[in-house]
Amino acid sequence: MEKQIHLMQHILELSETMDEGMTHIHSQLKAGKQDETVYLFEDFVQAFASIENAIETVDDEFKNDEVDEKTKDVKKNIEAVVQLYEMKDYDKIVENMESGLFPNLNEWRSQLETAFQPHTMN
């Protein structure tokens, strides 16, 4: 049980860091510093993959269907942004972030907090 609680705490912390990173990536793109965002987005993708893998190891009693659904939604948005990066279509990346990735990322984090915080609060 303690391992599960520790894992959920790390998931919540990393998801917050991801949110901050995505905000920074977005501002860099809007400022025309596209090249600087490529590696930052790669880090974001790796962080998401780490959380996705960690969520799979969390006992079902601690998560809900919404966590799984929102994880899938964020993953789809990430895949779309990766394709846009490959095409170097930075305007569409910003558009996708604003209309898809940010809203889904916020909903995903909200679902993680709803599912995990009751178990991680002392």
Confidence of residue 120 (pLDDT cuts 50, 70, 90): confident
Distance separating the N- and C-terminal Cα atoms of the chain: 14
Whether the CB-CB separation of 29 and 94 falls below 8 Å is answered with yes
Q: Which two tokens stand for residue 1?
A: 């049980």
Chain-centroid distance of CA 4 in Å reads 20
- Say what the pLDDT of residue 69 is: 94
Which distant-in-sequence residues (6+ apart) come within 8 Å of 55 by Cβ?
11, 63, 67, 68, 71
Which distant-in-sequence residues (6+ apart) come within 8 Å of 35 by Cβ?
none
- Say what the pLDDT of residue 115 is: 92
Write out pLDDT tens, residues 4-63.
999 999 999 999 999 999 999 999 999 999 999 999 999 999 999 999 999 999 888 888
Secondary structure, 3-state, 61-112: HHCCHHHHHHHHHHHHHHHHHHHHHHHCCHHHHHHHHHHHHHHHHHHHHHHH
Write out pLDDT tens, residues 31-42.
999 999 999 999
Domain ranges of the chain: 2-120
Whether the CB-CB separation of 54 and 11 falls below 8 Å is answered with yes
- Say what the pLDDT of residue 122 is: 59
